[in-house]
Structure 1
Amino acid sequence: MLCQLSINNFAIVRFLELDFKAGMTSITGETGAGKSIAIDALGLCLGNRVEANSVRPGASKAEVSARFSLTDIPLAKRWLEDNDLELDDECILRRTISSDGRSRAYINGNPVPLSQMRALGQLLIGIHSQHAHHAMLKSEHQLTLLDSYANHRLLLDGVSASYQRYKIIEQELAQLQQSQHERIARKQLLQYQVEELNEFNLGETEFEEIEAEHKRLANSTALIQTCQHALYLLQDNDEQASAETILNQAIDQAIDLESYDPELKTIGTMLNDALIQVQESSSELQRYLDRLELDPDHFAYLEQRLSKIMQLARKHHIPPSELYQHHQALCTELSTLDSDEEKLTEIGEQLQSCQQSYLEHAQKLSQSRRRYAKELDKQVTQSIHELSMPKGKFVIDLQFNPEIMSPNGCDTIEFQVTTNPGQPLQAISKVASGGELSRIGLGIQVITAKKVATPTLIFDEVDVGISGPTAAVVGKMLRSLGESTQVLCVTHLPQVAGNGHQHMFVNKQSKAGQTETSMVPLDRDQRIEELARLLGGDTITNNTLANAKELLQH
């Protein structure tokens, strides 16, 4: 529960340090005194948005801190442990706001983002404001009230998670479908290109081989003539001395020289080696000439194939040497596009599966909502009977529509009410007057508050539009709620304030051109005087004091 609230230089508060107890605490004060200022300050510790006038005029910064006991709040203790922010059985939330509007948040002395402060705050305090009655007219808020009453957190998490999975798959499918026309056009082009290249069927090294062979055949005449001339020079012929003839003559001379001087024997050996090389060269040239044929048909084939390679390369804007690799790349891309089509079918099936899973979760949530809606119908109807609407009836109309998919399920909801006998049930926005709406809304808030495991509940002037005997019933409701939950109630009704286990008074004073708000606990005699003021205004008589004392005794 909330144990202490410290406020420094916030709005018109210079300094306040308030200690809170269990049970119901009534907070009253004159109009304009700032009865809700402590609630507003506490809201900053819960991560609420900073207003422009948050810092007291003349101060450089405002600071608000709230200390909570976590003895009976296991969810909050677990959250702190999970986020490495635990501090025994206490928790201190602190918020500082500079005059330029910047703020910092701390949990147990550790700086944290506001999102963490908000997450923890939801486990510590629930705030019900006077505007909640108007919010109750909106269907999304009605659904939130029902889910809070039924404690549907786990079911809602399941629906939300399945919805997110569905939306992710749906987006992926939409992206594939959006590019489907482009893929179809690209696939048609690729099929034509790949078929053409498949038909041509170029080998991996064929271009280099054809180019080399074509070059050789294109120069075959010159090759034959040159080879024949080389043979003419190397081998014996009738017209002139060949290299072979000259070497034979030189060898004969060397043999003669060797007979004169044995040291010249090596000359003959080298000349013999040279003769052998010449003869082998002649033989190799002759064999090459024998293999070299002038085949016009083969040459034409090579020219035609080489020309086609050049044509395809120009068509695809690539060098001829890269045509084979380009062909393989196109085949791979075409295969990928085929797999995209398969993926499109697969994702479509996944989407149907995710939708079915979502609808199962949503149906389960809807069934639970209908069960708790009937329960809440009876309790709210009984509550508005006690709140001076004896013939009133409250019904929650809940419809499951699988066409409506949202993170909160497929249900449409409408709070319906009839306030007079013989009148049909209609939407609460069309039937209830302002006072009736306040009473119905208050009844729902008190009932749902009993079901929610929040240890501290704040009711900020939720009794607006209520008076007389009805106010007394409201006071009893809140006091009963305070028996099990800490309740802080800002009120202007003496019948409500008198039901508090304790009472705080808010006062505003102006001194030396400065306005300051204070908030102090009242003892029994002070409470009687404050209740008398609420009953009779500025003039307090013995009768109003007696009435105030009677209120407090009851």
Structure 2
Amino acid sequence: MLLNLTIKNFAIVSYVEVDWQKGMTTITGETGAGKSIAIDALGLCLGERALTNTVRPGSDKAELCASFDVTDNKSARQWLDAHDLQNDDECIIRRVISCEGRSRAYINGNSVPLNQLKTLGEKLINIHGQHDHQLLLKSTEQRRLLDAYANHQPMLAKLQSAQKQWRHLNNELATLQQQKQQRQAEQQLLHYQVQELDEFNIQDGEFTQLENDFKRHANAQKLMILSEQSLQTLANDEQMNAISALQQSLDSLSQLSEIDSNAKAITSLVEEAKISLEEACNDLNHYQQSIEINPEQYALIEERYSTAINLARKHHIEPENLLEHHKGLAAQLASIANDDMRLEHIDNELQDCLHQYQQLATKLSASRQKQAKLLAQKISSAMHELNMPDAKFELQLTTNESSEPAMYGLDNIEFVVAMNPGQSLESMAKVASGGELSRISLAIQVILAEKVDTPVLIFDEVDVGISGPTAAKVGQQLQRLGQNTQVICVTHLPQVAAKGDQQLFVSKLIDGKQTQTQVSHLSAVARENEVARLLAGDQISQSSLANAKELLAKTA
């Protein structure tokens, strides 16, 4: 339940703090005083969109804070726990709105996005405005009310999941069918390309080896000449070669070392150089012997090397990337084959999904038929209690003719009424007056409130267009509702105001410069005067005061 509401610098309110109690609270006040100011502030506090005139003129920000007891509100507690925002049994919601329109929201001291504030607010308060009854004329709202009364939310969730899956499969099928011709042309090209690369079958690192082998065979004669020249210079020239020259130098250094031991290190280095040179000559000799001029082998290497280059040029890639490119094209070809297989199977999936949807929709439709009769009986009874003794109310269900699954199922729903004896049932929009529509709306709201677990119900002048004995009936309905939940009702009717367990009065103070709104709890005597004012206007007479006392006495 709502415990406290604090309003700072909001609209024409400088500062107001209101403590709320159990049962039914009525709010009255003078015309233009801002009776709905607390309701508007609560709406903003719980995530509604802020308007440009939210902040009081001359202030830099508006601040709204509401605290709730959530001890018995299982839905709210679970939501708070799921979002790590729990704070024992009390929930404090705060919203700050700057004069530039920026907004910050807090739950139990934690900064949260506005959409989280709104989601939590729906679990704490249900606000019914004075124009809500106009929504009652829309078929979508009529279907929503029936489903809310029948608690169809779990069934609707399953139905909507099946419909969403059907729509997804249907879109996939349409896409695959549209792309089928394009895929066929692409498949032919890919098949040729992959087959060509399959036949070539290049291996990892093969092109680098091919390139080296091609260069070696292409330059075999030159390699023979260069290696022979090097061997001649190093060892094979009989007149003068590098090894012979080193040996001569080494002989001289050996004699030098015998005379001067300081030359031994130099001798060792020359010896090492001679040994290294001899090893190099040996390796070079083996290399020269390995060089062979084999025209047949060279032709094979040249052909494969040229094919690799031509294939790479054909696919606009580097030859080194042929293998990866081959794998990529093969994957694309496999994907197209998978799409074709998917096209073959998707029809079966669509039929299964449609069958599941139809089963769920048929079950929902049967429940709607049953619950529509129960709801119609309750609304008819409530209408009789609200001074419409001859009224008849029914919910007519017709089958949706669409060939595609709808999010709401198979049913179109229409509220039909007959207000007078002998009249046939017709659409509510055609036969119900504004006052009658307001009463029907209130009757439905009261019935739904008994079914839907919302701990705080707010009615903002839902009794517009109602007077006399009917107003008393409305008051009784709201009072009965207040026995099980907290009810807050903004009203201009004395018969409704008197039914509250407590009453708040909204007044407007003007000091010549500024206008301020105040909210105060009425004492027993002040309440008698206020109800009398509602009965007779500003000139309270003894008769109106006596009537006020009588109304309040009946409530007590």
TM-score (norm 2): 0.78
Q: Which residue of 2 aligns with 1:97?
A: 97
What does residue range 288-327 of structure 1 map to in structure 2 within 5 Å?
Answer: 315-317=314-316
**CA distance in 1 between partners of 2:218 and 2:92 (Å):** 95
Asked whether the equivalents of residues 207 and 321 of structure 1 are also in contact (C-alpha less than 8 Å), the reply is yes
Deviations, residues 106-150 of structure 1 (Å, cap 9, x unaligned): 112222222222222111111111111001111221122122222
Deviation for aligned residue 1:343: 2.8
Q: Which residue of 1 aligns with 2:14?
A: 14
Match for 2:153: what amino acid? R
**CA distance in 2 between partners of 1:212 and 1:516 (Å):** 94
Asked whether the equivalents of residues 498 and 531 of structure 1 are also in contact (C-alpha less than 8 Å), the reply is yes
Asked whether the equivalents of residues 404 and 410 of structure 1 are also in contact (C-alpha less than 8 Å), the reply is no
Deviations, residues 48-86 of structure 1 (Å, cap 9, x unaligned): 111111111111211111121223222222222222222
Deviations, residues 516-551 of structure 1 (Å, cap 9, x unaligned): 111111122222211111111122222222222222
Match for 2:117: what amino acid? M
Deviations, residues 448-475 of structure 1 (Å, cap 9, x unaligned): 1111111110000001111111111111
Q: Which moved more, 1:61-70 or 1:476-485?
A: 61-70
**CA distance in 2 between partners of 1:138 and 1:552 (Å):** 38
Q: Which residue of 2 aligns with 1:88?
A: 88
1:423 aligns with 2:423: yes
What does residue range 395-544 of structure 1 map to in structure 2 within 5 Å?
Answer: 395-401=394-400, 403=403, 405-544=405-544
Change (3 A) 1:196 1:416: same
Match for 2:492: what amino acid? H
**CA distance in 1 between partners of 2:44 and 2:391 (Å):** 39
Deviation for aligned residue 1:371: 2.0
Q: Which residue of 2 aligns with 1:357?
A: 356
**CA distance in 1 between partners of 2:348 and 2:459 (Å):** 50
**CA distance in 2 between partners of 1:138 and 1:127 (Å):** 19
Asked whether the equivalents of residues 366 and 400 of structure 1 are also in contact (C-alpha less than 8 Å), the reply is no
**CA distance in 2 between partners of 1:488 and 1:143 (Å):** 27
Q: Which residue of 2 aligns with 1:29?
A: 29
Change (3 A) 1:195 1:27: same
Change (3 A) 1:209 1:417: same
Asked whether the equivalents of residues 438 and 463 of structure 1 are also in contact (C-alpha less than 8 Å), the reply is yes
Find the residue that maps to 1:505 and give its secondary structure: strand
Q: Which residue of 1 aligns with 2:259?
A: none
TM-score (norm 1): 0.79
Match for 2:548: what amino acid? A
Change (3 A) 1:319 1:538: closer
Asked whether the equivalents of residues 395 and 415 of structure 2 are also in contact (C-alpha less than 8 Å), the reply is yes
Change (3 A) 1:148 1:198: closer
Deviation for aligned residue 1:345: 3.3
Deviation for aligned residue 1:344: 3.3
**CA distance in 2 between partners of 1:144 and 1:51 (Å):** 28
Find the residue that maps to 1:399 and give its secondary structure: strand
Change (3 A) 1:87 1:306: closer
Change (3 A) 1:515 1:217: closer
Q: Which residue of 2 aligns with 1:372?
A: 371
Q: Which residue of 1 aligns with 2:68?
A: 68
**CA distance in 1 between partners of 2:209 and 2:549 (Å):** 115
**CA distance in 2 between partners of 1:203 and 1:18 (Å):** 83
Asked whether the equivalents of residues 435 and 465 of structure 1 are also in contact (C-alpha less than 8 Å), the reply is yes
Asked whether the equivalents of residues 6 and 16 of structure 2 are also in contact (C-alpha less than 8 Å), the reply is yes
Find the residue that maps to 1:526 and give its secondary structure: helix
**CA distance in 2 between partners of 1:70 and 1:419 (Å):** 42
Change (3 A) 1:33 1:154: same
**CA distance in 2 between partners of 1:203 and 1:498 (Å):** 94
Structure index of larger Rg: 1
**CA distance in 1 between partners of 2:216 and 2:72 (Å):** 97
**CA distance in 2 between partners of 1:330 and 1:497 (Å):** 79
Instruction: Structure 1: state its 5+ residue gaps.
Output: 227-242, 244-280
Q: Which residue of 1 aligns with 2:59?
A: 59
Find the residue that maps to 1:7 and give its secondary structure: strand
Q: Which moved more, 1:396-405 or 1:538-547?
A: 396-405
Asked whether the equivalents of residues 16 and 519 of structure 1 are also in contact (C-alpha less than 8 Å), the reply is yes
Deviations, residues 469-508 of structure 1 (Å, cap 9, x unaligned): 1111111111111111111111111111111111111111
Change (3 A) 1:413 1:202: same
Find the residue that maps to 1:104 and give its secondary structure: strand
Match for 2:358: what amino acid? L
Change (3 A) 1:344 1:523: same
**CA distance in 2 between partners of 1:320 and 1:61 (Å):** 69
Deviation for aligned residue 1:356: 3.3
Deviations, residues 188-208 of structure 1 (Å, cap 9, x unaligned): 222344456667888999999
Change (3 A) 1:190 1:490: same
Find the residue that maps to 2:32 and give its secondary structure: coil
**CA distance in 1 between partners of 2:526 and 2:352 (Å):** 67
Deviations, residues 321-350 of structure 1 (Å, cap 9, x unaligned): 776775565444322211222233344443
Q: Which moved more, 1:11-20 or 1:113-122?
A: 113-122
Change (3 A) 1:428 1:404: farther
Q: Which residue of 1 aligns with 2:333?
A: 334
Deviation for aligned residue 1:16: 1.0
Asked whether the equivalents of residues 387 and 473 of structure 2 are also in contact (C-alpha less than 8 Å), the reply is no
Change (3 A) 1:190 1:45: same
Change (3 A) 1:180 1:543: same
Asked whether the equivalents of residues 458 and 488 of structure 1 are also in contact (C-alpha less than 8 Å), the reply is yes
Change (3 A) 1:205 1:386: closer
Match for 1:336: what amino acid? S
Match for 1:158: what amino acid? K
Change (3 A) 1:31 1:197: same
Match for 1:471: what amino acid? A
Match for 1:148: what amino acid? A
Instruction: Structure 2: state its 5+ residue gaps.
Output: 226-236, 238-284
**CA distance in 1 between partners of 2:541 and 2:334 (Å):** 95
What does residue range 129-168 of structure 1 map to in structure 2 within 5 Å?
Answer: 129-168=129-168
Change (3 A) 1:308 1:470: same
Deviation for aligned residue 1:215: 9.9
Q: Which residue of 1 aligns with 2:274?
A: none
**CA distance in 1 between partners of 2:209 and 2:113 (Å):** 70
Asked whether the equivalents of residues 418 and 424 of structure 1 are also in contact (C-alpha less than 8 Å), the reply is yes
Deviation for aligned residue 1:178: 4.4
Asked whether the equivalents of residues 61 and 98 of structure 2 are also in contact (C-alpha less than 8 Å), the reply is yes
Find the residue that maps to 1:56 and give its secondary structure: coil
Find the residue that maps to 2:68 and give its secondary structure: strand
Figure out how many residues of one structure are paired with residues of the other and give that number: 501
Deviation for aligned residue 1:161: 3.4
Q: Which residue of 2 aligns with 1:383?
A: 382
Match for 1:358: what amino acid? Y
Deviation for aligned residue 1:163: 3.6
Change (3 A) 1:388 1:339: same
Q: Which moved more, 1:161-170 or 1:481-490?
A: 161-170
